[in-house]
């Protein structure tokens, strides 16, 4: 089996984003292979943990990927404050005589946005609505690269390292079998220390808020990397509850057209024609200006405009999400009118410092938490979704009552369809098959 076939067999999808199947993404020839080790969102530390503890594996995998896709440049993007991780990777680069280079950047948000990272490393702007391949690059998250190393040893994706932080007794980085409930992960970390709490699955800027009522049904998937527990009355939890009508009314009554949202928009700063202040004006004045509203389609939803830039605390990002949804329903697609995009010369001065962003989000206390490491969860039951990430779902190839071993192939993507295979994350007996495969452990086992 070649590397791509091994990656396909192992069921690898992008570990840090929307979950695009990795064997499809790497089926190309490019100039640059870039590893995203920047852990874009504040508070998350799972990727750092892996780079610190598995630098040998990551460097070996990057070399193999580089050969497979013919990449001339192999680059790992990191923040310059990641001293231990930089040291570990440098040691591994020396040990394997690797040609991998480290690209160090300041701690700013969203340094790990794929388009921002490509711009920082290559100076090239990916066209709006485009992908890194358009400018001769491929980007993979460091967690994905670690999974590729495992695939090289014929080990499929069966677990995730998850950062659990915030209002929990033992903030930790935990090794979690895919399909474990969020409830069980929280219990492993001593449980929530606040009675009324909400959960953010992912980072505070782009993660999904979830009520605590769902912790028993929501399970960890291949794309999860963090659970943040916040008080129910926290600014971030309350903000999510605002209706679109309320946001539109706010835009009408309070947008002062200062255009700070546009000045600080990371996509505008790399040369994309997106101007959130104009979208806000169009909404406020009921202008229905299609040329302006269409710009919402190239918003990456990073949240800089509303969580950091706007002095009136308005919601340009969520207005964009709303407008984007409406345009998609009407079949509108983004089309570029030029191939030339030029970054703003003031970009370096307009980057959002992570520390200041964390303070603005009222999360500084969590940033100071020391995370425990090395804990593993041994669940007595998992529910492994048949669809995780972008593409088609898988079809179960086991039956209720079957005994399965950890790592066994249990869900297959149909031939010719885009998706990712699914494997048992614990050994046990298949107890139910629906949109997920439930496995009950026969006996407690330790993840190796």
| Interface with ligand SF4 (CB under 6 A) | 255-261, 265, 267, 274, 276-277, 280, 299-305, 309-310, 312, 314, 316-317, 320
Task: Indicate the residue among 6 and 277 with the shorter CB distance to ligand SF4.
Answer: 277
Q: Rounded to the nearest whole angstrom, what is the least distance from the CB of residue 86 to ligand SF4 in the complex?
A: 28
To ligand SF4, the closest distance from the beta carbon of 287 in angstroms equals: 15
Least distance to ligand SF4, CB of residue 261, Å: 3
Nearer CB in complex with ligand SF4: 119/260: 260
Q: Which is nearer to ligand SF4, 277 or 294 (CB)?
A: 277
Q: Name the pairing type of β-strands 73-79 and 32-36.
A: parallel
Per the CB < 8 A criterion, the answer to whether 190 and 372 are in contact is no
Closest approach of ligand SF4 to the CB of residue 223, in Å = 20
Smallest gap, in angstroms, from Cβ of residue 313 to ligand SF4?
8
Q: How many CB atoms lie within 10 A of CB 198?
A: 24
- Phi/psi of residue 32, each to 5°? -120, 135
Query: Counting runs of H as helices and runs of E as strands, what totals does the chain give?
Result: 18, 19
**Which 3 state secondary structure label does DSSP give 77?**
strand
Nearer to ligand SF4, 215 or 305 (CB): 305
* Spatial distance between the Cα atoms of 36 and 325, rounded to a whole number of angstroms: 28
- 10 or 305, CB closer to ligand SF4? 305
Instruction: Please say which residue, 173 or 261, places its beta carbon nearer to ligand SF4.
Output: 261
Alpha carbons 305 and 310: distance in angstroms, whole number: 6
The CA distance from 99 to 64, in Å, is: 12
Does 15 sit behind a cis peptide bond, omega within 30 degrees of 0 on the bond before it?
no
Contacts of 374 (CB under 8 A, 6+ apart): none
Rg, Å, the chain Cα set: 22
Nearer to ligand SF4, 6 or 351 (CB): 351
Which of residues 62 and 255 has its CB atom nearest to ligand SF4 in the complex?
255
Structure tokens at 89: 């990777």
What is the SS3 assignment for 263?
helix
Q: How far is CA 269 from CA 118, 212, 264, in A?
A: 13, 37, 7
Instruction: Report the residue number, 139 or 314, with the smaller CB distance to ligand SF4.
Output: 314
Query: Measured from the CB of residue 222, what is the shortest distance to ligand SF4 in angstroms?
Result: 25
**CA 189, CA 183: separation in Å to the nearest integer?**
10
Smallest distance, Å, CB 206 to ligand SF4?
9
The closest alpha carbon to 322, from 391, 251, 267, 382, belongs to: 251
Minimum Å gap between C-beta 324 and ligand SF4 is: 10
Rounded distance between C-alpha atoms, residue 329 and residue 323, angstroms: 10
Judged by beta carbon, residue 254 or residue 392, the one nearer ligand SF4 is 254
Supply the minimum distance, in Å, between the C-beta of residue 304 and ligand SF4.
4
Check the CA dihedral 94-146-355-279 and report its sign. Answer: positive
User: Within 10 A of 257 (CB to CB), how many other CB atoms are there?
Assistant: 12
For the CB of residue 413, give the shortest distance to ligand SF4 in the complex, in Å. 32
> In Å, what is the CA distance from 324 to each residue of 185, 301, 317, 368?
35, 11, 10, 37
CA angle in degrees (0–180, nearest 5) for 310-315-319: 135
Question: Closest distance between ligand SF4 and the C-beta of residue 295, in Å?
Answer: 8
Closest to ligand SF4 by CB, 100 vs 305, is: 305
Strand segments (E) across 178-322: 197-201, 208-211, 226-231
């Amino acid at each position: 089996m070649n590397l791509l076939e091994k990656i396909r067999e192992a069921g690898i999808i992008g570990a840090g984003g929307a979950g695009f199947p990795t064997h499809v993404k790497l089926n190309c020839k490019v100039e640059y292979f870039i590893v995203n080790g920047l852990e874009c969102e504040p508070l998350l530390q799972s990727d750092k943990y892996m780079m610190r503890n598995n630098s040998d594996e990551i460097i070996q995998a990057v070399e193999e990927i580089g050969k497979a896709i013919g990449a001339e440049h192999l680059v790992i993007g990191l923040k310059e404050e990641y001293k231990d991780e930089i040291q570990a990777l440098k040691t591994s680069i020396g040990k394997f005589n690797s040609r991998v280079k480290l690209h160090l950047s300041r701690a700013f948000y969203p340094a790990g946005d794929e388009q921002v990272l490509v711009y920082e490393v290559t100076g090239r702007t990916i066209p709006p609505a485009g992908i890194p391949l358009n400018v001769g690059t491929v980007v993979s998250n460091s967690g994905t690269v670690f999974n590729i190393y495992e695939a090289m040893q014929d080990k499929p994706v069966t677990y995730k390292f998850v950062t659990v932080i915030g209002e929990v007794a033992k903030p930790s980085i935990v090794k979690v079998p895919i399909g474990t409930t969020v409830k069980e992960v929280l219990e492993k970390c001593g449980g929530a220390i606040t009675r009324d709490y909400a959960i953010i699955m992912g980072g505070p800027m782009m993660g999904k808020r979830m009520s605590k009522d769902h912790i028993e049904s929501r399970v960890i998937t291949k794309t999860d990397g963090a659970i943040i527990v916040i008080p129910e009355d926290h600014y971030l939890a309350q903000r999510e509850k605002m209706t679109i009508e309320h946001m539109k009314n706010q835009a009408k009554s309070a947008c002062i057209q200062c255009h700070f949202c546009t000045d600080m928009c990371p996509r505008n700063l790399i040369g994309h024609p997106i101007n959130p202040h104009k979208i806000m004006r169009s909404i406020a004045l009921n202008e229905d200006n299609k040329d302006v509203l269409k710009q919402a389609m190239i918003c990456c939803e990073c949240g800089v405009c509303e969580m950091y830039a706007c002095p009136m605390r308005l919601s340009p990002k969520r207005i964009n999400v709303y407008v984007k949804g409406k345009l998609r329903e009407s079949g509108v697609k983004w089309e570029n009118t030029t191939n030339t995009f030029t970054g703003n010369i003031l970009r370096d001065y307009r980057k959002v410092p992570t520390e200041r962003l964390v303070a603005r989000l009222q999360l500084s206390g969590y940033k100071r938490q020391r995370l425990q490491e090395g804990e593993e969860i041994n669940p007595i039951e998992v529910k492994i979704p048949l669809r995780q990430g972008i593409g088609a779902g898988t079809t179960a190839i086991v039956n209720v009552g079957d005994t399965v071993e950890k790592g066994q192939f249990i869900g297959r993507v149909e031939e010719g369809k885009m998706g990712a295979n699914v494997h048992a994350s614990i050994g046990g007996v298949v107890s139910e098959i629906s949109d997920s495969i439930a496995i009950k452990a026969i006996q407690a086992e330790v993840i190796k």
